[in-house]
Amino acid sequence: MRVLITGVDGYLGWALSLHLAGRGHQVAGIDNYSRRDWVQEMASQSATPIARMSDRLLAYYKRFGKNLIFHKGDLTDFNFVLNVYKSFRPEAIVYLGEMPSAPYSMLDVHHAVYTQTNNIVGTLMTLYAMADAVPECHLVKLGTMGEYGTPNVDIPEGFFEIEYRGRKDRMMFPRKAGSWYHQSKVHDTNNVEMACRLWGLRSTDIMQGVVYGTRVDEMAGDAHLLTRFDFDQCFGTAINRFCAQAVVGLPLTPFGRGTQRRGFLPLRDSVQCLTLAVENPPEAGEYRVFNQFEEVYSIMELAEKVRTVAGRLGMDVEIQPLENPRIEAEDHYYNPDHRHLLDLGYQPTQDMESELEIVLKDLLEYRDRIEARQEAQFPDIRWDRERRRSQTLPAAGERKAAG
């Protein structure tokens, strides 16, 4: 199948391109290297050293015996996008080319505006370019479980049947996002659903949980095929940050009480799920939603898991909660559905500890790169618009004693 990946230079994009090539698909990618710029703006770098794109492409050719077709360009440049669609004629587009960080979007008004315009405009242009050039193409759009927030009821996959004052309808489940970034994904969701409804486009909207890990099998031990791994306050996801902290001997820093519950999945599962979506397209005009995660944990449970696995590898790791820079519910009900991908054949890895062991071993090789930028991990972007570094909180035990 001809699959176009936007944001192919990013964490998921690169890994997915390897996996799809390994399965025999013809892959083309678009990127403008924004992620490299954003991380640099955060005074950080990927823990794994990332080859420049020309070297990546060479390594890709050596590994798979075929080229990754690569187009450098901006997804908010309509003529560029339309021309790529017309020349490559994708059967599926996996749209990963967005600014993916909540704290980055909360930095100030300019970052808020940049996040929403970059993400919304890119998606709008994709919808128009699809309708013009490849109306049968399947858009696999990356959203986030964060679109739903943490309601006090179960979270279905995108839609629910309601009865209200004695009448019934099937409606979008209400979203309640908690950052300008998460809102940008809600806006995309609404725009994509409408384009399917009005223009007969087809789309799978992926509400993804928090992804962690360094590997997909197709990397095959070739350092040029590694994907990036961020640990700074903006682009490092929770578990990835904990693993980076562990290998340089810093305490793991859950925010607040760490009782916030979220869905998680390893990188290899994310890539497996996106591939299932690509290989099982919806009908013309169909807009469907997959909640994409494996297991639900609290942030503190994850920190404990990283500590346990690190301990087995001889690292002595502390957990040191930080004042929560976000405004979010720390104690809440959380029970999201996730049947659709299992129905398509998703086989969850279900072995977080082995995955964490791989991550920690991989990162030990790049310890120096994390140490060199370790300041970047400390959160100082706060949801209340102040810019102030989060203070250390007393550990749970001490707090109880003090209370």
Query: Footprint of a second copy on this chain (CB under 8 A)?
Result: 78, 108-110, 112-113, 116-117, 120-121, 124-125, 128-129, 131-132, 151-154, 160, 162, 164-165, 167-169, 171-178, 180, 183, 186-187, 190-191, 194, 197-199, 327, 333, 383-385
Active-site residues: which are they? 144, 181, 185
* Residue 162 near residue 168, CB atoms below 8 Å: yes
* Residue 340 near residue 290, CB atoms below 8 Å: yes
Nearer CB in complex with a second copy: 19/175: 175
Residue 282 burial (CB count, 10 A): 17
Residue 162: CB minimum distance to a second copy, A: 6
Report the distance separating Cα 130 and Cα 119, nearest Å.
17
Nearest to 326 by CA among 255, 268, 389, 274: 255
Residue 168: CB minimum distance to a second copy, A: 7
What's the gap between Cα 374 and its chain centre? 22
* Residue 10 near residue 33, CB atoms below 8 Å: no
Residue 324: CB minimum distance to a second copy, A: 13
Nearest to 68 by CA among 8, 158, 151: 8
Nearer CB in complex with a second copy: 86/385: 385
Residue 235 makes CB contacts below 8 A (sequence gap 6+) with 35, 38, 39, 42, 44, 100, 101, 104
Nearer CB in complex with a second copy: 79/350: 79
Nearer CB in complex with a second copy: 124/313: 124
Residue 396: CB minimum distance to a second copy, A: 26
Residue 165: CB minimum distance to a second copy, A: 5
DSSP character string of 113-146: HHHHHHHHHHHHHHHHHHHHH-TT-EEEEEEEGG
Nearer CB in complex with a second copy: 32/46: 32
